[in-house]
A and B are shown apart, each in its own frame.
Chain A
C-alpha cells in the first residue's frame, strides 16, 4: 500500500517546465524590500534607521515577541526608507527598504563544527532563532517556536515535507537533488533537540531521482527513513502528511505536536543546517519562476527582498502576455496584480499563466454530483458548507464542521458546476476566526 490519504486530486503537474533545470544564482540589481511581517506572529522591530549603512547578513529587525522572527539584510547598502510596502498577500506592510550598493559585502559568519552528538540543544535552538528561520513552505511559522513544544518528550517524529504536491513547483526537488546533504544534516540537527525522535523525509513518488539519492545517502542510518508517497494533491497538507506517514489523525483544533510530530519544509531544514554549521541567517531561498507565459522557466537561488519583476526578467521575461500571475502554486497561491512585490522567506514560486482558467467558466447550479465530497481530504461536505456560507448561516457552518476545511482547493478544482466552493468557505472561516479573536 502506498502511503497516502483518502480523497485528493491529480491536477496537471507542470513540473516538466523546470524540474530538470539546475538552480541558478540571481543577484539583485535594484532596491530590496524587507516586510517586517513575513512570518506568523508579532511583526519584527527595526534596529536600523533611514540612512544607516548595512551589510549582507546584518540584523535589521529583531523578533517582536516569542512568536516572531529576526530579519536580516541580504545585501550591502543603505537603509533607504522604513515605510509600508505592498506584499504578495495583497496588503501593505511596514517594510525596510535597502538601496543595494551592488557590492554584496557580507558580515563574517561563524559556523559551529561540533558533531551532532555533542551539540547542546540550546545551541541549536539559539542558532535557529538568531538566523530568523521561519517555515518556508509559505505559512511562515517561526521554526524555533515549532521546535520548542510544551511537551518535548512526546515528540517522536520529525517529518521533512518534501512532497511538493503543488503543481509547477520544483524548488524543493532541486534542493534535494543538489543539496541533499544539507537537508539531511538539517534534519539531524532538528532531531538532536528530541533525543527519542526519528526522522522521516516524505517524498511523492513522482520524484524517483530524489528518493533514490536520499535513500543512498541515508543507507545505514536507522534514525531517518525516506518515505515514498503516492503523487496526489494535497499530499503535503500537514494533517494528511502526518496521517500518511504515521497513521495518526489530527484535526483543526490540534497541533502536529499533539500527535507527537513536527513537520518542516525542505528549505526550512536546509536553513537550519546553514544557520548552525555556517552561522548564516536566512537571507536566501530557491524560487521557481515558471508558467507558460515565461520565456525560460527555471529555479533561482535568490536573496530575500528581491523584486518579483527582477526575477521574471531573470527568467527571460514574458513569452506571451500573462493573464494571471500567482505568488506560489496554482492550488493555494495568491493571484497578484503587480510584479512590484518583494520575495519573502515564504515565496516559493512565481507562476505566470497565459490563460486564467477560473474566469473561463461561469459558476452554475450545484448538481449534487458529490465529487467535492469524494475529493475532500478534510472529509467535510463542501457543497453544503458553501450553501451555508452563502446564506451567512455561521451556526450551521460550524455544526457541519466548516472549520475542518484546510482550504486546499480540491473541491473548487473538481466541481463540474465551477462553483467557488473553497473561496466561499474560506471567507466564512476567516470571519469565524476573526470573531474568535475579538
Chain B
C-alpha cells in the first residue's frame, strides 16, 4: 500500500444529501420575495427601509450576541435573515424605525438566543416580537395605511360590517402589514416551498381547512353571504402569511406527523375564535404563539409508533391464549416490561382533537360572553359622548342624523366616505386627516320629521397630534360658519397642547365663515387667522388641518 495515502475515517453513512440548513432558509427567503415585492409596491420606500432595518438588525443582533457570549457566530445559516424578513412582513408600513429595531432585538435576543439559539426557541421569534410590539405600541402597530392615507384593514372593516373589495384583497392592494396583504403573492411563495419540499402541506391545509369550516358554519348561523364572508376571511389579514410561512416554522411546530394535524386544527379553531369573538379584528399571530406553547405537549402524545411495534406482544398474547385453552388454570403472565404510555393511535388523535376543540370553544365562549356583556355598555358610553359632543357643537339643532338615517345603506355610506377621503388626499393638503362621519343637523325630532336642515356635524380624525390621534366633532352651518368644536379624543401635553381643548382656543373658530383657516405665531390680524398655542404648534397645526379638512369636504368653496 502507498505509504502516502492519507485516508479519512468516520462511521457510516458516508454520503450526505446536498441540502443544508442555509439552503432551506434561503428557499424561505425566495418564497417571500413575491409578497415582499407587492408590499414594497403598495407601501413605498419606507416599507423597503423597514424590511432592510429588520433584516439588518436581526443578523446584527445575532452576530453581536453570539460574539459577546463567546459562541460560534452562525449568521451564515440565513435563519436570522428569515426572522428579520418575517418580522418586517408583520409590521405596519409606517412603523417608526426604532420600534422595528427594538422588535428585531426582542426576536433575536429574547426569544431566540436566550432560549438556546437556533432550534431551541419555544415560539416563533418574528411573531413573538410582533406580539411584543402590539402590546407595547398598540397604536402604532394598528395604524394602517393604503395609498398614503390611513385606512382600516379589510378585516377591521369586515368586523364593523363594512364592505370589502375581494379582488384587491386577493391581489394585495389594500391596507395591512407589509407582507400580509397579497394572498396571490403569498400563495406563489407557498407553491415554491411545496415544490422545493421545504414545507409539507399538512399544517397549512388543516389550519385553513378548520378555519374555513368554522367560518362557513358561523356565516350560515348568522345568515351572512357565505362565499363572500369566507373569501374575505381567507384573503384578509395574516391568515395566508401565518398558515404558510409562520405556522410551518420547523422549530416551533410539532415534529411528529400526527402532531402536525392536531396543531393545525387547534390553530384553525383559535384563529376563528379570536377573529370572530375577540376584540381585535386579527387573531393569527396570537393563535400561532399559543399553539407554539402547546408543541411539546402535542409531541409527547403523538410520538410515532416504531416499525413493528406490538408485533411481538401480539404473538405472546396468541401463545398465552393457546396456553389458556390448553390449561385453564395457567397462571397469568406478568408483563415483562412496563410500556411508556405516551403513544397515541388513530383514536387518540380524534380524542386529542376533540379535547382541543372543546378547550378552544370554551375559551371562545368566555371571550365572546365578556365581549358581548361589555360591548353594549362601551358602545352606549361612546354613543352618549358623541351625542353630547354633537349637541355642543351645534346647539341650534334638535337632532343630528347620520348618513344612514338620511336614507343611505351602510355600503353606500361607506363608499361615500371613501370617495370623500380620497378627494381629500388628492389635494395633498390633508395628509394626516381622515373624515370619519358626516352627519346632518336638523330642526326636526327624528328622520321622519326632519324639519329644516341647519348644517353638518363632521367627525374628523387627525393622527399627527403631539400625543397621537386627535378626534374632533365640528359643527358647520349650511352657510359654512363654524358653530362649535368638541374634542372626542385628545391626548396632548398638559398645559401646552391640551390648551386646544379650552374655550379660549376653540372660540377663535366659532362664528367664523372663512373657507380655510391658517395659524400664526405673531398675533391674529384676520378672521381666518388663528393664534397658535404657545409651545404647541403641532397641536395647533393638527386642529387647524382637521377643521380645514372638514370645511373642504363639505364643498371647500365657502
CB pair B11–A422 under 8 Å, yes or no, is: yes
**CB pair B14 A326 closer than 8 Å:** yes
Report whether over half of chain A's contact residues are helix, strand or loop; otherwise say mixed. loop
A379 contacts chain B at the CB level, 8 A cutoff: yes
- A interface footprint on B1-25 (CB within 8 Å = 1, 0 otherwise): 1000111111111111101110110
By a CB distance below 8 angstroms, the chain B residues around A333 are 12, 14
Contact B11 A418 (CB under 8 A): no
- Assuming the A-B contacts A365-B117, A368-B119, A420-B11, are A404 and B306 also in contact, with contact meaning beta carbons closer than 8 angstroms in the complex? yes
Q: State which residues 411-425 of A face B: CB under 8 Å.
A: 412-418, 420, 422-423
Q: Are A358 and B119 in contact (CB under 8 A)?
A: no
Q: A368, B255: Cβ atoms under 8 Å?
A: yes
Chain B residue at minimum C-beta to C-beta distance from A335: B9
B55 to A: closest C-beta gap in Å: 19
Q: Which residue of A lies closest to B315 (CB)?
A: A258
Closest chain A CB from B446 CB (angstroms) = 64
- In the complex, which residues of chain A have a beta carbon less than 8 angstroms from the beta carbon of B340? 399-400
Closest B residue to A357 using CB positions: B16
Q: B15 and A369: CB pair below 8 A?
A: no
Query: Is B17 touching A413 in the complex (CB atoms < 8 A)?
Result: yes
| A258-B315, A416-B21, A422-B13 known; A324-B307 Cβ under 8 A | no
Does the CB pair B308–A249 fall under 8 Å?
yes
Asked if residues B74 and A404 are in contact (CB atoms below 8 Å), the reply is no
Are the CB atoms of B255 and A381 closer together than 8 Å? yes
Contacts of B312 in A (CB 8 A): 250-251, 253-254, 258
- Chain B proximity of A184: nearest CB distance (Å): 30
* Most central of B6, B9, B16 by chain A CB within 10 Å: B16
* Contact A254–B311 (Cβ < 8 Å): yes
CA distance A385 to B14 in the complex (A): 20
B251 x A413 contact (CB < 8 A): no
Contact of B16 among A321, A360, A365 (CB under 8 A): A360
**Are A416 and B20 touching (Cβ within 8 A)?**
yes
Q: How far is the CB of B334 from chain A (nearest CB, A)?
A: 17
Complex Cα distance, B21 from A369, in Å, reads 9
Q: Tell which of A12, A321, A374 touches B257, judged by Cβ atoms closer than 8 Å.
A: A374
A325:B24 contact, CB within 8 angstroms: no
For window 288-318 of B, CB contacts with A under 8 Å fall at: 303-309, 311-312, 315
- Identify B304's interface contact among A334, A366, A373, A412, CB under 8 A: A373
- Is the CB–CB distance between B304 and A12 below 8 Å? no
How far, in whole Å, are A309 and B7 apart by their CA atoms in the complex?
A: 14
Cβ of B179 to closest chain A Cβ, rounded Å: 22
Chain B interface bracket (under 10, 10 to 19, 20 to 34, 35 or more): 35 or more
Q: Which residue of B lies closest to A334 (CB)?
A: B12
Contact B308 A250 (CB under 8 A): yes
List, in ascending order, chain A residues with CB within 8 A of B24's CB: 367, 369, 416
Q: How far does the alpha carbon of A339 sit from the alpha carbon of B309 in the complex, in Å?
A: 41
Residues of B within 8 A of A368 (CB): 119, 250-251, 255
Decide yes or no whether A83 CB sits under 8 A from chain B. no
Minimal beta-carbon separation of A422 from chain B (angstroms): 6
Q: Is A91 an interface residue (CB 8 A)?
A: no
**Within 8 Å CB of A422, what residues of B?**
11-13
Residue A239 CB within 8 A of the other chain: yes
Known contacts A360-B16, A412-B13; is A379 also within 8 Å of B306 by CB? yes
Min distance, Cβ A351 to any Cβ of chain B, angstroms: 8
Query: Across the interface, do A331 and B13 meet the contact criterion of CB distance under 8 Å?
Result: yes
Asked whether A359 is an interface residue with its Cβ less than 8 Å from the other chain, the reply is yes
Chain A: minimal CB distance from B520 (Å): 62
A366-B119, A416-B19 are known contacts. Are A324 and B306 too (CB-CB below 8 A)? Answer: no
B254 nearest in chain A by CB position: A370
> Are A416 and B23 neighbours in the complex by a CB distance under 8 Å?
yes
Q: For the complex, is A361 an interface residue (Cβ under 8 Å from B)? A: yes
In the complex, whether B118 has a CB less than 8 A from a CB of chain A is: yes
Taking the closest CB of chain B, its distance from the CB of A12, in whole angstroms, is 7
* Known contacts A250-B311, A367-B79, A368-B255, A359 near B10 by CB under 8 Å: yes
Whole-angstrom distance between the Cβ of B309 and the nearest chain A Cβ? 6
Given the known inter-chain contacts A324-B7, A416-B19, A416-B23, please indicate yes or no for A380 contacting B304, CB distance below 8 A: yes
Closest B residue to A12 using CB positions: B15
Q: Report how many A-B pairs have Cβ atoms within 8 Å.
A: 183
The answer to whether the Cβ of A364 comes within 8 Å of any Cβ in the partner chain is yes
On chain B, the residues within 8 Å of A324 by CB distance are: 7-10, 14
CB <8 Å contact, B74 and A365? yes
Knowing A309-B1, A364-B74, A379-B307 are in contact, say whether A370-B255 is a contact too (CB < 8 A). yes
Chain A positions within 8 Å of B251 at CB level: 367-368
Please tell me if the beta carbons of B15 and A413 are within 8 angstroms of each other in the complex: yes
Is B256 interfacial (CB 8 A cutoff)? yes
A432 to B13, CA, bound (A): 21
Query: In the complex, what distance in Å separates the CA atom of A321 from the CA atom of B77?
Result: 32
Which residues of A have CB within 8 Å of B8? 323-324, 335, 356, 358-359
Which residues on A sit within 8 Å (CB–CB) of B17? 9, 11, 413-416
When each residue 324-366 of chain A gets 1 if its CB lies under 8 Å from chain B and 0 otherwise, what string results? 1110001111111111100000000000010011111100111
Question: By CB atoms of chain B within 10 A, which of A336, A369, A414, A418 has the most?
Answer: A369
A378 part of interface (Cβ distance < 8 Å): yes
B119 engages A367 (CB within 8 Å): yes
Q: In the complex, which residue of chain B has the Cβ closest to the Cβ of A356?
A: B8
The complex places the Cα of A69 from the Cα of B5 at a distance, in Å, of 35
Complex contacts, B23 vs chain A, CB 8 Å: 416
In the complex, A326→B315 CA distance in Å?
40
Judge whether B12 and A409 touch: CB under 8 Å: yes
Q: Are B16 and A361 in contact (CB under 8 A)?
A: yes
Taking CB atoms, residues of chain B closer than 8 Å to A409 are 12-13
For residue A359, which residues in chain B have a CB less than 8 angstroms away from its CB?
8, 10
Q: Are B257 and A373 in contact (CB under 8 A)?
A: yes
Q: Which residues of A contact B117 (CB under 8 A)?
A: 365
The verdict on A426 contacting chain B, using a C-beta distance below 8 Å, is yes
CB of A64 within 8 Å of the partner chain: no
* Contacts of A422-437 to chain B: CB distance below 8 A: 422-423, 426
Are the CB atoms of A370 and B250 closer together than 8 Å?
yes
Choice from A239, A330, A331, A400 contacting B308 with Cβ under 8 Å: A239
Residues of chain B with a CB closer than 8 A to A254's CB? 308, 311-312, 315
Taken together as a complex, chains A and B put the C-alpha atoms of A5 and B119 apart, in Å, by 30
In Å, the complex CA distance between A364 and B75 comes to: 12
**Residues on A with beta carbons closer than 8 Å to the beta carbon of B309:** 251, 379, 401, 404
Inter-chain CA distance A258–B17, complex, in Å, is 35
Partner of A251, one of B1, B10, B311: B311
For residue A99, CB closer than 8 A to chain B, the reply is: no
Tell me the complex Cα distance, A360–B74, Å: 17
A373 with B255, Cβ < 8 A, contacts A326-B14, A364-B21 known? yes
Contacts of B315 in A (CB 8 A): 254, 258
When distances are taken between beta carbons in the complex, the residues of chain A under 8 Å from B120 are 365
Name which residue of chain A comes closest to B120, CB basis: A365
Residues from chain A with Cβ under 8 Å of B256 in the complex: 370, 373, 381
Q: How far is the CA of A9 from the CA of B256 in the complex (A)?
A: 18
Q: Are B14 and A322 in contact (CB under 8 A)?
A: no
Q: Are A356's CB and B14's CB within 8 A? A: yes
Q: In the docked arrangement, what's the CA distance between A420 and B21, Å?
A: 15
Are B15 and A167 interface neighbours, CB within 8 A? yes
Contact digits for A268-279, partner B, Cβ 8 Å, 1 yes 0 no: 000000000000
Most chain A CB atoms below 10 A, which of B14, B256, B304:
B14
Q: Which residues of B from 1 to 53 have beta carbons under 8 Å from A?
A: 1, 5-17, 19-21, 23-24
30 contacts between A and B (CB under 8 A): A5-B307, A251-B308, A251-B312, A253-B312, A324-B9, A324-B10, A325-B7, A335-B9, A358-B10, A358-B14, A359-B8, A359-B10, A361-B20, A364-B74, A367-B21, A367-B119, A370-B250, A373-B255, A377-B307, A380-B306, A381-B255, A381-B304, A407-B12, A413-B15, A416-B17, A416-B24, A417-B20, A418-B20, A420-B11, A426-B11
Closest 8 CB pairs of A and B: A409-B13, A251-B308, A404-B306, A249-B308, A423-B11, A249-B311, A401-B306, A365-B118
Beyond A11-B17, A358-B16, 9 additional contacts (C-beta under 8 Å) are A243-B307, A254-B315, A322-B7, A335-B11, A335-B12, A338-B1, A359-B10, A409-B12, A416-B23
